[in-house]
Amino acid sequence: MELHRPFIVLLFILATAHCNIWSSSIENSLKDQRVEGQNVITWCTISGPEQEKCETLMRTAMLDKGLFGADYIELQCKRAFDTEECMTWVDRGEASLIGLDAGEVYVAGRYHSLVPIMMELYGRSEPYQYAVAVVNKGGLPAVQPGSGLHALRGAKACFPGVGALAGWVMPIHVLMQEGGLKITDCNNHVKSAIEFFGESCAPNSLKDYYNPIGDNSDKLCKLCTGGAGFRCTLADPYAGYEGALKCLVANGTGEIAFVRDTTIQHALLSRKILGGVSEDHFELICRDGSRRPVTEWENCNWGRVPADAIVTSSAATPHQRKRYQNFLHRLVQLYGQPNPLNRNSNRTSGYQSRDGYGNPYMSSTEPARKPYDPYRQNNFDYNQNRANDNEIRSSTYSPFQPRVDAGGQPIELPFQLFNSNGTTDLLLQDATINFLVLTEEEQAASHILNNKFVGDQAEKAVLGIRNCPVKRAMLCVTSDAEMDKCIKMRVALKAAYLSPTLVCWRGHSTRHCERAIAEGACDFALFDAADMLHAASTHRLVPFMQEVYTSGDNWYYAVAVAKEQDPDTDLTYLRGKNTCHTGIGMAAGWVYPLAYLISNGWIRSYACDGAHAAAEYFTKSCAPGALSSEYVDSNTVPQDNLCHLCHGASFRRCRRDASEDYYGHVGAIRCMVEGGGDVAFVRHTAPAEVSGGRRREWWARDLLPDDLQLLCPDGTRAKMHEYKNCNLGKVPGSVMMGRANHTELDTYSNLMIYAQQLYGATASDEFSFSMFYSQPPYADLIFSDAAVRLKPLPHKQRSADIIAGKALPRAARIVSCDAPQSAYYIAADTNFLSAAYRNGVVGVVVAMAIFVVALVR
């Protein structure tokens, strides 16, 4: 035992040493681990020159690490394709900082949850600039003080990019207010600009965010010059404020450029960036149409705009944001020498150094500059700065502190934060002299756009270009189930920031909705093709959109469906049978089948009283709405046996809405399967919708496609997929209708187009909304479940007689005595009076005139 003791001690020493080494290596590896936002921050860039400048700053800051003291954070640079990708990266935590135009700050906050933490300061520490319009001297002669800005219609314009506050938002808003630029799309102001300007260059005008449904023309990209993959993007040579001036300078390209005053300072007055072009060749256009020299932007501008800002993720803690602000503060102190071109500004000619509170130093109070010592960390008196840390970081940071040697001579800076060497505004604006630190309460886009320096004009402009002349879109629904779906749709559209605001209005019937729309209580609703005829002839409503189905057509076939195990049911002889209908007065489930049976002599017409004819011919039926005076012909008696098969409880029984279980196309099939019906009259897609396990309700769970067959007009039967050769006729798809006002109808149509782009999936789950899906046990709530999209109707086709064709009105007149006897349903032309209607009115007037003349004689 004594012999083994030295070996045991040796093993213990070796094991302890190994553990120490292992723990030390783990500790070092944890120290070396980089965590974004903690010990490393990534600045997102959007171009090669910007990435190069950022990497130079990164290397310089690393070499000067000792000068940052406790405020040092390792800087990294990451290049994205554009600012939107940068916003996404910062939102995901893949980057920490990005400098944005004030207009982009609004987008970053609204769609990416980013918050501003610093604002740039210009001139005499001013957190704002001016939006200006530059033209070649003598250019656009039609723009004069008397004509104002209306003469800019059709001009070739150069924009820095869609969304830029001074170069896009402000001019577009001013032209909307004072230049006659009309809002053509409430959810896409680029379309409004396309209608107003001629061929132009507006980078990002075809980007998904500004072209959400992909129907923007390339008119605003015609003057852009980038190559494949870069043209009309932020990588285009004419992108950015400097690029907008280049677009104007290029011979025969642009006629007007929308930029900011600092662009004139650094790109034009320098005579270096734009190839030595003199400012004498250009002038400013003022909002009243007058002109001024390019240096008089303070008296000739299109509005004051907030300064650019540095933003980060809202997920960053207050402590992290403070660290970012401290780090940026050190960058200004070390490398923030004001750009010498700032002297060209009449706002910066009196530039003075300022203390930590933003107050200018007097000559007698400015502290003596200490000699620069690269090995000393307190070159900038950090103790004094930290004593007033809270006050300093909630006010204006102290500006650049030049480096001097022991003899008081200035030392050349290794890096200049506000100099872009041959171009402008890389990472930050070259006109920047300082940063304004935003407190936690001020870290919001709303503060950037609306503050004491710029007032609320910037915020009004940002919201104004997204303004909609139609404030509401009130959709009429006819049941509680539809109301629930409408409310979900309203929430979904609001979450997507779509305009106008969708409002849900509950009517007690389709006829009630027709009257409410005509009276202005609500705005639009979806109608069956047969209801369209009634709404058009009785209330002068206009169709403006139509459903399109899986076949790609805006119509479907009306078919008669029977059970395969019931071979005795024959379409040519249904006397005494039990029938299931979608609803009284509806095209596929009532008008077409009864018109077929009456016109072929199978049923007595009873002088076009279809309800009476059906009641006498069939034993029992479910025709929802048969007991309502709104749907049956006037001066007739409701037929009770047309509701004997219906299944609704209490007052809901036989109602023509979703509260009746056997209402609609799916309801008619259910009536036949479980309710004792022999035949169901529906659209041709209905059998497939309920069979083959497509519905989970118990009545449809075991229903196979072969269990159902089609009844053909010649007395034969056919499989479900043979509907093209076994049907009762083509039925126009359901339509959306509103009052006869093109502006309103275009707005509602536009809203529905955007809605289906976002929520047009034909299936849904509990976490999403789908327009063309109804939660079981319901079907066809608001929209048909068989539809895949809504097709907008051109102005010239917004006519019920055009949509209906010839067959439907003829069938309606066979079935109902109250059906309109002539096709004057609402016009295709601008005054919404069809030729047939106008001719009818003229004929009545002429007849009355002849009658009066005859009486006089």
What does the DSSP assignment read for 650-683?
Answer: GGGTT-SSTTSTT-HHHHHHHHHHHS--SEEEEE
169 contact partners, CB below 8 Å, separation of at least 6: 103, 163, 458, 461, 462, 465
Q: List the beta bridge partners of residue 735.
A: 527, 546
| Residue 826 belongs to some domain of the structure | yes
- Tell me: do 300 and 315 sit in the same domain: no
pTM, entire model:
0.79
| Residue 64 belongs to some domain of the structure | yes
The rounded distance, in Å, linking the Cα atoms of 424 and 714 is 80
The rounded distance, in Å, linking the Cα atoms of 224 and 162 is 13
Kindly give the pairing relationship between strand 524-527 and strand 114-121: unpaired
| Residue 849 belongs to some domain of the structure | no
pLDDT (0 to 100) of residue 354 = 39
Kindly give the pairing relationship between strand 729-732 and strand 555-563: antiparallel
Q: How many domains does the chain have?
A: 5
Cβ neighbours around 184 below 10 Å, total: 17
| Residue 398 belongs to some domain of the structure | yes
| Residue 857 belongs to some domain of the structure | no
- Tell me: do 566 and 636 sit in the same domain: yes
| Residue 441 belongs to some domain of the structure | yes
Cβ contacts of 760-766, under 8 Å, gap ≥ 24: 760/788, 760/789, 762/788
The rounded distance, in Å, linking the Cα atoms of 166 and 606 is 73
pLDDT (0 to 100) of residue 347 = 44
- Tell me: do 316 and 275 sit in the same domain: no
775 contact partners, CB below 8 Å, separation of at least 6: 481, 485, 764, 781
Radius of gyration of the chain (CA): 37
- Tell me: do 743 and 661 sit in the same domain: no
pLDDT (0 to 100) of residue 713 = 94
The rounded distance, in Å, linking the Cα atoms of 508 and 229 is 55
User: For position 346, which CATH number holds?
Assistant: 3.40.190.10
Q: Of 683, 717, 732, which one is at a domain's C-terminal end?
A: 732
pLDDT (0 to 100) of residue 26 = 40
CA dihedral sign, ordered 272, 273, 277, 282: negative
pLDDT (0 to 100) of residue 448 = 93
Q: Of 691, 714, 732, which one is at a domain's C-terminal end?
A: 732
| Residue 461 belongs to some domain of the structure | no
Specify burial of residue 127 (Cβ count, 10 A radius: 0-12, 13-18, 19+).
buried
Give pLDDT < 50 ranges for the chain.
Answer: 1-3, 7, 9-10, 17, 19, 21-31, 344-398, 823-842
- Tell me: do 299 and 429 sit in the same domain: no
Query: Domain limits at 419?
Result: 40-123+309-361+369-452
DSSP 645: T
- Tell me: do 484 and 565 sit in the same domain: no
H or E segment to which residue 621 belongs: strand 620-622
Cβ neighbours around 575 below 10 Å, total: 11
Which tokens hold the place of 326?
A: 């401290």
Beta strands per DSSP E along 91-216: 98-100, 114-121, 128-136, 157-158
The rounded distance, in Å, linking the Cα atoms of 224 and 247 is 8
- Tell me: do 298 and 321 sit in the same domain: no
Cis ω for the linkage preceding 237 (within 30 of 0): no
Kindly give the pairing relationship between strand 304-306 and strand 309-313: unpaired
| Residue 484 belongs to some domain of the structure | yes
The rounded distance, in Å, linking the Cα atoms of 389 and 176 is 46
- Tell me: do 612 and 728 sit in the same domain: yes
Torsion of CA 782, 786, 790, 794, to 10 degrees: -110
Helix runs in 69-169, H state only = 83-92, 102-112
Amino acid at 31: K
Name which of 297, 243, 293 is nearest 267 in CA terms.
243
H or E segment to which residue 328 belongs: helix 318-335
- Tell me: do 707 and 572 sit in the same domain: yes
SS3 label, residue 437: strand
SS3 helix, strand, coil % of the chain, rounded to 5?
Answer: 40, 15, 45
Which tokens hold the place of 506?
A: 């509950």
pLDDT (0 to 100) of residue 35 = 81
- Tell me: do 375 and 293 sit in the same domain: no
- Tell me: do 253 and 300 sit in the same domain: yes
**Contact yes or no for 476/524 (Cβ under 8 A):** yes
Q: Of 417, 452, 487, which one is at a domain's C-terminal end?
A: 452
- Tell me: do 92 and 209 sit in the same domain: no
pLDDT (0 to 100) of residue 765 = 65
